Structure 1
Amino acid sequence: MTLLCVSLAPSLDRYAWLPSLRLGGINRPRDVLVRAGGKGLNAARAATNLGVPTRAVALVGGATGDVLRAHAAGLDVSWVDSGVETRQCQCLLDEGTGTLTQVYEPVRAVPAALWPGVRAAVAEQIERLGTGGTVALSGRVPPGLPVTALADLVDLATARGVPVLVDTDGPALAAALGRRPDVVKVNEHEAAGVTGAPVEGWAGAEALRALGARAAVVTAGADGARYAGPDGRRIAVTHPPLDGALPVGSGDAFLAGLAAARLGHPGADVLAALRLAAAAARANARHLPAGDLTRDAVDAELPALTP
């Protein structure tokens, strides 16, 4: 099984560890790390570290895009040139207080004329997957591309019998839901934004299913995750909160865990998939940077999960 991660809005991520963070003053980090990031590439890195054969398609551009490509070691990526400077995001950890400050640049608009080339690049990779693969559509759609971009990619994969996992928000999520993806994985805020419904209990997952998702998973941070499936099944996984959690990329690690357990494929063990996903999210939240986890670290989190 090969996982294909599609990242239309990646970022060059910079992590800085500071003895203390002084607002309005000069700060000198103890250490700095630069990584190719954004939701899709974070998910690809986490899946790779879980032992899943993983490829990605990413849309990057400009001098920052060149730096991002240089910091994508260990990832098998087909790059598509956006012609537009790739955004940067920063994560600043105050080691004295454990406080994490995140500064995320907005997703920049790209030329509309790029879309046929992007679609063709993804279609080529889907063709290589075969029916044993999985597609993960993760992150936002840049302005300039059609709001139906992810929805169209759902159609491409579905037409070839390849299961699709979707993790996005807003209008792109609403459009993708209408194409009946196999699994939609979002957090409570994202679910509420697209459904307009309360997300307490099972309401968010069921509302996503009513909008078109064959199965829906709604995550709630330390409160775990709820799954609503096409056969009427409802499954919840919970776990205690982590002290000093650093959740950057934990949603992407969760998605990687679902893919590693092949949720969306016929006969998948849903409870096992949810447990692996939640354990991956917990392992990710224990440290920076995003996606740096091992299968042993994930397995060590499993006893904390209920059921």
Structure 2
Amino acid sequence: MLVFIAPSPSVDVTYVVDEYLPGGAHRPVSVHRRAGGKALNAARSAATMGADVRAVAVLGGYSGEFISAQLPREGVGLRAIRGGEETRSCISIASVAGGGLTEVYELATPVSAGEWGDVLAEVHALLLQQPGWVASSGSLPASLDPAVLAGLARASADGDVPFAVDTHGPALTEAVAVSPALVKVNRAEAIELLGTADGTAAIELATAIQTRSAGLVVVTDGTAGAVATDGDRRWRIPPPERTGAFPVGSGDAFFGGLLAALDAGSDFSEALKQASGCSIANALEPGAGSFDRDTALDIAAGIRLVDC
């Protein structure tokens, strides 16, 4: 079982317009609403790939009610903590003519210490039922101490449960220091963590993070592909042969697809192929973390990792 902790859930709305004109009025040709935020996108992606998934999130107001109603329909078991504030919304506007994407993301909704304590209690209860991976992705609300993810990593290790993290900033620094089983970040987040130059090769970033964390590490690099290491071997995932107009959530789809494969018993290299297939398939359809399973598997079957 995969348990995803969502510190910054949201209602993700994608408007597809014929052409986006700043300052102009637009009538979307299609609208796509999802229970979102990085962790819930990843959870939905893992469920799409057949994993047994639970998500734990603090949800409030009408947006929280929407997420609570939708997520179980998408194969994700939800443990919702009632929050005192309205859950945020995040907007993406995709232009058919220009091919560009305009994004407006609210800051993570504040979470109180008591609400976070309830999150941890739910996670503990789930793991007593069926131990498995614990994962957290996305930014932390400013109301929480950046060390809370490190605390999760320690608690998971004490229970012999692997912990995976996809975040940034001080929370990532704290988490990496306590050796999570998996760190997945993008190039910008890796550079911020390590304080290295922008031009540093992605595989060198992954290797440096692995030296600190001692676990599995993936660094995604947009349309340039991704790199990964388990400490013994290093791989490069080539740039995608297919690209789509909806890249939002592709990193989350990668994370969810990777964990679904690892939880099913795949070795790391095979899990990387599935993750990449999910990431590419995500960009082909509007709505973050939403894609066709067969398309992802077909793409994954054609991916060849390169040793580096």
TM-score (structure 2 length as normaliser) = 0.91
Deviations 1:224-253 (A, max 9, x none): 2111213x2112221335344421111111
Alpha-carbon distance between aligned partners in 1 of 2:289 and 2:246, rounded to the nearest angstrom: 12
Q: Give the secondary-structure state (helix, strand or coil) at the position aligned to 1:227.
A: strand
* Higher mean displacement: 276-285 or 213-222: 213-222
* Higher mean displacement: 152-161 or 65-74: 65-74
Partner of 1:67: 66
> 1:274 aligned to 2:275?
no
Partner of 2:122: 121
Q: Give the secondary-structure state (helix, strand or coil) at the position aligned to 2:109.
A: coil
What amino acid does structure 2 have at the position aligned with 1:276?
Q
Deviations 1:140-182 (A, max 9, x none): 2112222111111112222221111111111111111111101
User: Per-residue deviation at 1:213?
Assistant: 4.2
Partner of 2:174: 175
Q: Is the 8 A contact 1:184 1:213 kept in 2?
A: no
What amino acid does structure 2 have at the position aligned with 1:257?
G
**Uncovered stretches (5+) of structure 1, i.e. residues with no partner:** none
Q: Give the secondary-structure state (helix, strand or coil) at the position aligned to 1:262.
A: helix
Inter-CA distance 77–252: structure 2 relative to 1 (3 Å threshold): same
Q: Give the secondary-structure state (helix, strand or coil) at the position aligned to 1:202.
A: helix
User: Per-residue deviation at 1:300?
Assistant: 1.8
Q: Is the 8 A contact 1:223 1:241 kept in 2?
A: no
Inter-CA distance 260–111: structure 2 relative to 1 (3 Å threshold): closer
Identity %: 37
Q: 2:303 aligns with which of 284, 302, 305?
A: 305
Q: Give the secondary-structure state (helix, strand or coil) at the position aligned to 1:211.
A: helix
Alpha-carbon distance between aligned partners in 2 of 1:127 and 1:150, rounded to the nearest angstrom: 20
Inter-CA distance 183–96: structure 2 relative to 1 (3 Å threshold): same
Alpha-carbon distance between aligned partners in 2 of 1:152 and 1:134, rounded to the nearest angstrom: 15
RMSD: 1.9
> 1:143 aligned to 2:142?
yes
TM-score (structure 1 length as normaliser) = 0.92
> 1:233 aligned to 2:233?
yes
Alpha-carbon distance between aligned partners in 2 of 1:268 and 1:14, rounded to the nearest angstrom: 33
What amino acid does structure 2 have at the position aligned with 1:290?
A
User: Per-residue deviation at 1:196?
Assistant: 0.8
Aligned residues: 301
Alpha-carbon distance between aligned partners in 2 of 1:201 and 1:173, rounded to the nearest angstrom: 17
Partner of 2:48: 49
User: Per-residue deviation at 1:42?
Assistant: 0.3
Q: Is the 8 A contact 1:187 1:219 kept in 2?
A: yes
Alpha-carbon distance between aligned partners in 2 of 1:268 and 1:304, rounded to the nearest angstrom: 17
Alpha-carbon distance between aligned partners in 2 of 1:42 and 1:15, rounded to the nearest angstrom: 14
